[in-house]
Amino acid sequence: MTDQLEQATDQKPRRAAPWEYAPAPEAKDIVTIRPRYGLFIGGRFVEPRSGRYFETVSPSTEQRLAQVAEAGKEDVDAAVKAARQAWEERWRNLPGRERAKYLYRIARALQDRSREFAVLESMDGGKPIKESRDVDLPLAAAHFFYYAGWADKLDYAFPGRVARPLGVAGQVIPWNFPLLMAAWKLAPALACGNTAVLKPAETTPLTALLLAQVIQEVDLPPGVVNIVTGAGETGAALVAHPGVDKVAFTGSTEVGKVIRRVVAGTGKRLTLELGGKAANIVFDDAPLDQAVEGVVNGIYFNQGHVCCAGSRLFVQESVFELLLEKLKERLQTLRVGDPLDKNTDVGAINSREQLEKIEELVGSGIEEGAEIYQPECVLPERGFWFRPTLFTGVSQSHRIAREEIFGPVLSILTFRTPDEALEKANNTPYGLSAGVWTEKGSRILWMTQRLRAGVVWANTFNRFDPSSPFGGYKESGFGREGGLHGLEPYLDFDRANGRRR
């Protein structure tokens, strides 16, 4: 260790990478963006009864991409009615193997058109094409494949119990993984025999609307999936609608709390996947280069717009200097810029509001006395950008160590013993995910049993698979998505169909 430390102190942090990458932009001509989108209700795109539209812009250029319908109360009502009718007349009566065929078709269509979806996702949301192409799209297709597999095997999933669908699911999703979150919500709902009304986030509606086109093309019975675009008011109308049997929400803890109050006492089922302030814990025996990659992936991946982002890094004191040196060096080589460039590591911040939130919290970090480090990199002139940032000298009481930033900002703290790491890591109102880096298997097990987090990664971070359940503790929400556990929120085991009518 002392050798490593000496080495570290001789090495000055390298300046920006000594090489330049030639731009390698992905062509945009594969996507066709309509100037205006209606609502997807009953299998058709319809004009909103509200008569209102809003704009979706590209956060990397601030250019307007399209006008999108804003669903009002009457529109949400029409969508819920279409979903109810499709459920009663068609979907709940289909055998599981028939439902599965539709889900397989959607999955295959996502694979066939994955480049188109990936480019559109990066244009509308600002995430690097490398991620939308290699993470969002393959995982979205995998979710439909995975739940298609369960559709005709529910009796085996829950032996000795009769599983029945609930009815209409009202699903509200955020902007950080727009298509993937749609897949997480729709695939299990449909596999279990429910119909759905989905509300995408207002800054990233376009891939959900392209999914609506795919849904038309695979001939899913009209009304099984309805997509209503709009902002918070549209979401509020959906979750409060008496025709909705199950509410699934992913987004901020603040809105999650509002929804929980609205749903209380109505008999609606509810799952909430909310914020996080994940601890990434690096012990002194960890493979440090690997840990650096994991830490970087944990917080700078998708601009830190990840509910399970490893935003708090706890480093064992004896390797702190060395790890910090390596991290700073790695930050210098991150490529920030055009999301459509295949070299880009860190894309655009999703919206001006989110950028302002990040700036405010980073400002508070400086004000409260933490020390900031940002690599030198040239940011594009237009669009919403934030440099990958790390803070040292952070104390547990600083806002940057307590509040969800949802941006590429890492707070580094240190610890001496496993007990101290555990105590600090659990000292948060959230509990979505955590990471442990150590060579000792026994220590991984010891930590995972004690960390209050829904997912704990060991010697890796931000890995997802449709077969493993995901969800939180405490203010990170409740209920699980993914895996066998992800079926349960969409099923009723005790009472007959249409239990509340």
Of 70, 121, 273, 475, the active-site residue reads 273
Q: Does 438 bind Mg ion (CB under 5 A)?
A: no
**Closer of 263 and 331 to ligand NAI (Cβ):** 263
Residue 406 sits in the site that holds ligand NAI (CB under 6 A): yes
Three-class SS state of 431: coil
Contact between 172 and 248 (Cβ < 8 Å): yes
104: Cα separation from own chain's centroid: 23
Please state the length of the chain. 501
CB nearer to Mg ion: give 56 or 253: 56
Nearer to ligand NAI, 172 or 377 (CB): 172
What region, left, alpha or beta, does residue 482 occupy, with left being phi > 0 and alpha being psi -120 to 50 degrees? left
- Give, as ranges, the residues between 49 and 68 that touch Mg ion (CB under 5 A): 56
Of the listed 131, 192, 202, 307, which one is catalytic? 307
Least Å distance, CB 304 to ligand NAI, is: 10
CB of 174 to Mg ion, least distance (A): 13
Q: Which of 107, 139, 201, 336 binds ligand NAI (CB under 6 A)?
A: 201
**Residue 258 binds ligand NAI (CB under 6 A):** yes
**Cα gap 339→300, rounded to integer Å:** 14
The DSSP secondary-structure symbol of 378 reads P
Alpha carbon dihedral 241, 244, 250, 253, in 10-degree steps, equals 50
Task: Find the binding residues for ligand NAI in span 333-362 (CB under 6 A).
Answer: 354, 357
Which residues, 6 or more positions from 39, have their beta carbon under 8 angstroms from its beta carbon? 45, 46, 47, 48, 69, 71, 75, 79, 226, 227, 228, 229
- Cβ distance to ligand NAI smaller for residue 275 or 383: 275
User: 273 an active-site residue?
Assistant: yes
d(CA 400, CA 440) in angstroms, rounded, equals 30
Q: Is 308 a catalytic residue?
A: no
Whichever of 181 and 210 has its CB closer to ligand NAI, that residue is: 181
Cβ(33)–Cβ(206) below 8 Å: yes
Q: How far is the CB of 230 from Mg ion (least distance, A)?
A: 14
Smallest gap from Cβ 52 to ligand NAI, in A, equals 15
Is-contact 213 38, C-beta < 8 A?
A: no
Contact window for Mg ion (CB under 5 A) among 73-81, 195-203, 292-300, 468-476: 195-203
- Which listed range, 44-52, 199-207, 322-330, 459-467, lies at the site for ligand NAI (CB under 6 A)? 199-207
- Would you give the DSSP letter of residue 136? I
- Closest by CA to 498, choosing from 103, 236, 193, is 193
Contact between 253 and 475 (Cβ < 8 Å): yes
Angle between helix 114-125 and helix 206-217 axes, rounded to 10 deg: 160
* Number of chain residues interacting with ligand NAI (CB under 6 A): 27
- The correct pick among 26, 121, 124, 341 for binding Mg ion (CB under 5 A) is 124
Helical packing angle, 178-191 and 96-112, nearest 10°: 160
Show the site string, 130-169: x = touches Mg ion by CB under 5 A, - = not: ----------------------------------------
Number of residues that bind Mg ion (CB under 5 A): 3
State the residue number with the nearest CB to ligand NAI: 235
**Please, what is the minimum distance in Å from the beta carbon of residue 331 to Mg ion?**
27
Alpha-carbon distances of 282 from 306, 392, 456, 501, rounded to whole Å: 20, 15, 13, 53
For ligand NAI, which is the closer residue by CB, 171 or 438?
171
56 binds, among ligand NAI, Mg ion, none (CB under 5 to 8 A by kind): Mg ion
Q: How far apart are CA 243 and CA 268, in angstroms?
A: 10
Q: Which residue has the tokens 């095997």?
A: 153
Q: Tell me which residues touch Mg ion (CB under 5 A).
A: 56, 124, 203
Task: Give the active site residues.
Answer: 273, 307
Q: Tell me which residues touch ligand NAI (CB under 6 A).
A: 172-176, 199, 201-202, 231-232, 235-236, 239, 250-252, 255, 258-259, 273-275, 307, 354, 357, 404, 406
